Chains A and B, each alone.
Chain A
């Protein structure tokens, strides 16, 4: 075994030493199940922070739009591309009596409220009020759809529901802005996109994607061996960094993994999650801090509810939206560098299939974990040194509740 990999198997608690301020004690279960706690998170976090709601690639043409629901804030917004090519976000709420003006996604010339037919332009401005002369004192200049702060970083659309955002989007993204400034997110089309509404707290489910400790067990039937093996039996991150409210970790692939025919094909034709020799072929700016020779991918947690996981030639993202304290709406997607090669596209589907199936394993254990917490049998949770990202998320949220922005 090479010396650089010792910290993947030794008994040193490396992260506790690096981040003593996080403490080592157990964490209470309440934040993972209480409605009262969620209402605090809504007040101090979801109402104040920039939230990633989708990619500009969903808004290619003038009039393209999608609706995004933020259930925990009772909000629904429309994100649309106007005639001036600007992407805007506004409340999906008619200025007459409040009905939604759009649903789902699509393309339109105007948004028309289906209650009494008020019409809005794709930039949110009021275009037509039927029987306008029957109103008493209608100031049409005040009847545009209520706008929501909207900013774009690398093709990711963020909104902010506060009147005046406490931080700029770049301040919130912090070190990611520089690290991934040259990562070609915008150019990478979506290969697979998935969603689920599941019975687990949003943080509990997010935690399933920011530690490798579960990989050898939960994913024993799928991708487990991609990331475990002799060099790193418990899928420890070879790199971990905490940055204010964000965190980033990097994982290695298992050089001794014995590939099946589908993986042998995929590796040859373009790449596979199973091994990272692709890392050399498709190296992209910002990935693999520390230059691990067996680099596989980075998990980048962007506070509060977004993971943007980067790798060589691909990235995948997760959004975690609380519906109530124990229900989460999750959306995920996998993106590759653009290709016009049929065999490379076939190879992408190998990763799409196995990653998707592995996500279903994560949903199952997370729902099981939530059900266990709901039983009341546990008062607290013990996070290990390699689960420090979960502890960090808890601490950051608690801090924002105790000392609001």
Chain B
């Protein structure tokens, strides 16, 4: 099978097809489409690895990422999107708020460049 993450994160490989998105809008849409059980499972696997993940990514810079590094970064970004649901809300979306469609997440320039 083709590897999509840097070697030392082989154990996270199975998450990649489901949990990587390259925009905030896509990450949020995915979060609210999941069950809290799915979100917690993902969080429980990746959050404990986040320091290692960040440390690995510090070997490169945002403007010069390999495909594998960008993929690893996107997993980390998804953890940041999922974290409040698990740590605070105990449900996929923020409670006591307006429908998720009301707030539009507008596009921004992507902060990282895939060069390798």
A interface vs B, CB < 8 Å?
Answer: 189-196, 198, 218, 221-222, 260-262, 265-266, 269, 331, 333, 339-343, 345-346, 349-350, 352-354, 356-361, 363-364, 367
Is A346 a contact partner of B80 (Cβ separation < 8 A)?
yes
Q: How far is the CA of A346 from the CA of B112 in the complex (A)?
A: 11
Please encode chain B, from 66 to 98, with 1 for each CB lying within 8 Å of some chain A CB and 0 for all others.
Answer: 000100010011011101100111000011111
Could you pull out 26 A-B pairs where Cβ atoms are within 8 angstroms?
Answer: A189-B111, A190-B109, A192-B24, A193-B107, A193-B108, A196-B104, A261-B50, A262-B47, A262-B84, A265-B51, A340-B61, A342-B61, A342-B62, A342-B73, A343-B58, A345-B62, A346-B57, A349-B80, A352-B80, A353-B24, A353-B81, A353-B83, A356-B24, A357-B97, A361-B97, A363-B103
Interface flag for B105 (CB, 8 Å): yes
The 8 Å CB contact of B108, one of A192, A339, A356, is A192
The 8 Å CB contact of B62, one of A194, A340, A350, is A340
Is B54 a contact partner of A343 (Cβ separation < 8 A)?
yes
A343 to chain B, nearest CB (A): 4
Other than A195-B106, A265-B51, give 11 A-B pairs with Cβ distance below 8 A: A221-B89, A221-B94, A221-B96, A261-B47, A269-B54, A340-B62, A343-B57, A346-B76, A357-B84, A361-B94, A367-B98
B residues less than 8 Å from A345 (CB atoms): 62, 73, 111-112
Interface flag for B60 (CB, 8 Å): yes
A residues less than 8 Å from B89 (CB atoms): 221
Interface residues on B, range: 35 or more
Is A262 a contact partner of B79 (Cβ separation < 8 A)?
yes
Interface flag for B102 (CB, 8 Å): yes
Is B103 a contact partner of A262 (Cβ separation < 8 A)?
no
Interface flag for B7 (CB, 8 Å): no
Q: Which of A221, A357, A359 has the most CB of B within 10 A?
A: A357
Is A222 a contact partner of B102 (Cβ separation < 8 A)?
no
Is B97 a contact partner of A360 (Cβ separation < 8 A)?
yes
Q: How far is the CA of A270 from the CA of B104 in the complex (A)?
A: 26
4 closest A-B pairs (Cβ-Cβ)?
A262-B83, A342-B57, A343-B54, A360-B97
A70 to chain B, nearest CB (A): 18
The 8 Å CB contact of A222, one of B50, B51, B57, B88, is B88
B110 to chain A, nearest CB (A): 11
Q: Which residue of A lies closest to B101 (CB)?
A: A196
Is B102 a contact partner of A360 (Cβ separation < 8 A)?
yes
Q: Which residue of B lies closest to A367 (CB)?
A: B98
The 8 Å CB contact of A265, one of B50, B58, B96, is B50
A93 to chain B, nearest CB (A): 25
Q: How far is the CA of A357 from the CA of B57 in the complex (A)?
A: 27
A residues less than 8 Å from B84 (CB atoms): 222, 262, 353-354, 357
A residues less than 8 Å from B11 (CB atoms): none
A274 to chain B, nearest CB (A): 11
The 8 Å CB contact of B102, one of A192, A198, A221, A261, is A198
Interface flag for B63 (CB, 8 Å): yes
Q: How far is the CA of A358 from the CA of B111 in the complex (A)?
A: 23
Is B54 a contact partner of A346 (Cβ separation < 8 A)?
yes
Q: How far is the CA of A338 from the CA of B98 in the complex (A)?
A: 32
